[in-house]
Chains A and B, each alone.
Chain A
Amino acid sequence: MDFGSINPVILIASLMVAAVPIMLAAVGELVVEKSGVLNLGVEGMMVMGAICGFITAVETGSPFLGFLGGAAGGAGLSLVFALLTQVFLANQVATGLALTLFGLGLSALMGQGYNGIKPPLTPDVPFGPLAQIPALGPILFAHDWVVYFSVAVIAVTWWVLKATRLGLIIRAVGESHDAAHALGYKVNRIRLGCITFGGAMAGMGGAYVSLVRVPQWVDGITAGAGWIALAIVVFASWRPWRVLIGAYLFGGITVLQLNLQAAGSAIPVEYLSMSPYLITIIVLVIMSSGKGRAALNAPAVLGQNFHAAR
């Protein structure tokens, strides 16, 4: 393949930024699914986060508060999901899809009057001379704080799930809610916590779209990123670091195909345009057919509701 004049350093730096929204949303959803809950409403929570974050940032003038507002917006919507699935035991797949419909509508209503406004800028973290290092500088030391935050969330999630008691409980709940209940854990409360975390992360991811990636508000701004995040969780076979790889890979292919076009590559555009999805499928096939057996890593009671008989 002819990469022509594409500069790999710039490409990597761009894909790191491009991947942030899907990475945050995906790691949130990973925790949700680890606890045995399938929330397909990521897109709805992201777009709610995008508008809540945007409104907060514009009204307070602080992009940092904006991200908190975005997290709150996503978490707020996820509580509706939690109420329906954990208390009223509604079907998770259908509730998640309804959540997306509702979130898209509500965000558009809230956003009336916020079109055509520029939000306050989220600056890069000042690393001083470090940013000047050739190659490493632009890749590692020239981003805003959310880029580093998203990687940190992956690391913390990995550590919590692997090495802490809380992680053990979450996994236990996701593997067998009956056994976890018998051991005295409050299954629904733990799931409520995970769902809220997932909502908050999706909301932050959405806020990153409206505050950094695009900086503006338009209806439906996330344009399907939530679905990609869902796909990445499965792609990552429910392992946090693979979420990072998946998000960077997907972000990378998207950025690369546009770069190839801009560089005048001879590959027909429509094949480039569908390549991120095809490559994701191919990678998934390779991963699940090998020793890893990705599908076997799925939480055993994913998508099933729990009702304590006693």
Chain B
Amino acid sequence: MLRRTLLTTAALALGVLGAGMAQAQEKLKACFVYVGPIGDGGWTYQHHQGALAVQEKYGDKVEIQWQESVPEGADAERVLTQMALGGCKIIFTTSFGYMDATNAVAAKFPDVKFEHATGFKRDQPNVSTYNARFYEGRAVEGLIAGRMTKSNKIGYIGSFPIPEVVMGINAYYLNAKKVNPNVEVSVVWAFTWFDPAKEADAAKALIDQGVDVIASHTDSTAPLAEAAKTNGAVIGFGQASDMAEYTDGPRVTSIIDNWAPYYVERVGALLDGTYEQKDTWAGIAGGEVLIGDITEKVPAEVKAEAEKMRDDIAAGTFHPFTGPINKQDGSPWLAEGATAPDGDLLGMNFYVEGIKGDIPK
């Protein structure tokens, strides 16, 4: 039986090798480079959902290819070159660390479009960048945290001290303090994006310090699982993906990275010839950042308040960083009524006034 299958496969193989070249020319090849495995349940998983959405939307007109767990640096450059040589017409590089590789390869393949996530370099006309305003979601989390905390201690598990994370901490704290002036934030740096056991320990350390609302900026659900062990005393948020499996427990809402609208739009633009280089930083308004369902653990009026903030952000009537805001050392950053310029946010390397502790330098 096995042998017959093998023989059949062999026959098929010869057939495919012979004739396979002719087809597949018509389809547009959209390619994706991932920094982790699709099974990470967070960052890469969400990008892959976006890729699948592209396939579903355009069906026969596109073919998608992807490569998981591509290390940043030399390997990324090779994978990108292989993809470009292999006929990819648009390549999404989904990690900050691919920035230089993306621009270097783009210089060699002017006909291929490159889309780099979370970076800022567009050295070539065929490189576009895109990012999501996750801090908008952090602001909503902060509001809920400020309202929900009983101990007035809220926690944040950071990965690495980079602007993206610092921005998240500041947005979380500012909007918690707005509704609860007594609130204090404790930050624990895990120095890893992904180490479930360590993330659980970090959550536990925060809980042991009396923190009762935990936000995390690392990739796994471990902090939620740790919060679940407190029988409802501690709440947390889903990060990157909805983490809906914890809705009956500590997860009160979530920030969902939703790349599908952007991917569908860009591939669509390439298909119908309207593609242009651009720099996209969309948030709740663009549908790139979704706020997951707010569960019943949150009182109705807080839920309404959070949803209003979400809608105001989407409508552009509220900016999570609205002055007056001072830096941690007391020096002024934003004047009354001013909103943060994007440049300040993207390079943010300071805490706002009121947060204790130092950013590791």
Contact = CB atoms under 8 A, between A and B. Distances in A.
B118 interface: no
Given A115-B41, A219-B37, A262-B188, A213 B196 contact: yes
Contacts of B39: 108, 111-112, 115, 217-219
Given A112-B39, A214-B200, A273-B189, A5 B225 contact: no
B245 A117 contact: yes
A225 interface: yes
Given A214-B196, A258-B202, A270 B191 contact: yes
B208 A14 contact: yes
B197 A6 contact: no
Interface in B197-236: 197-202, 204-206, 208-211, 219-222, 225
Contacts of A224: 195
Given A5-B209, A112-B39, A216-B41, A21 B197 contact: yes
A176 interface: no
Given A5-B209, A18-B197, A269 B189 contact: yes
Contact of B41 (A218, A225, A269): A218
B208 A259 contact: yes
A221 B196 contact: yes
In this complex, the interface size class of chain A, counting residues with CB under 8 Å from chain B, is 35 or more
Most B CB atoms within 10 A — which of A10, A14, A269?
A269
A262 B201 contact: no
Given A14-B201, A258-B201, A116 B241 contact: yes
Contact of A7 (B45, B208, B221): B208
A58 to B, nearest CB: 12
B194 interface: yes
B176 interface: no
Contact of B360 (A6, A11, A117, A269): A269
A6 B209 CA distance: 7
Interface string A209-242: 1000111111111111100000000000000000
Contacts of A273: 189, 191
A268 B197 CA distance: 22
A214 B228 CA distance: 11
Contacts of B205: 14, 255, 258-259, 261-262
Contact of B186 (A7, A112, A117, A264): A264
B265 interface: no
A186 interface: no
Most B CB atoms within 10 A — which of A215, A223, A255, A262?
A262
Interface residues of B, number: 43
B196 A264 contact: no
Interface string B273-289: 00000000000000000
B187 interface: yes
A70 B74 CA distance: 37
Given A7-B208, A259-B205, A268 B200 contact: no
B201 A116 contact: no
B330 interface: no
Contacts of A111: 39
B360 A218 contact: no
Given A11-B208, A14-B208, A223-B194, A214 B189 contact: no
Contacts of B20: none
Given A11-B208, A221-B196, A261 B188 contact: yes
Contacts of B119: none
A221 B220 CA distance: 9
A254 B196 contact: no
Nearest to A270: B360
B155 interface: yes
Contact of B198 (A10, A116, A216, A254): A254
A262 B211 contact: yes
B37 A108 contact: yes
A263 interface: yes
Interface in A136-171: none
A118 interface: yes
B340 to A, nearest CB: 26
Contact of B204 (A5, A112, A255, A264): A255
Given A14-B204, A218-B194, A261-B188, 17 more contacts: A116-B243, A116-B245, A213-B197, A213-B222, A218-B196, A219-B36, A220-B194, A221-B196, A223-B194, A223-B198, A254-B198, A255-B201, A258-B198, A259-B209, A261-B205, A262-B205, A273-B189
Interface of A: 5-7, 10-11, 14, 18, 21, 108, 111-112, 115-118, 209, 213-225, 254-255, 258-259, 261-264, 268-270, 273
5 contacts: A112-B39, A223-B192, A255-B201, A258-B188, A258-B201
Q: Which 8 A-B pairs have the closest CB atoms?
A: A258-B205, A214-B196, A223-B195, A219-B37, A219-B39, A259-B205, A262-B205, A262-B209
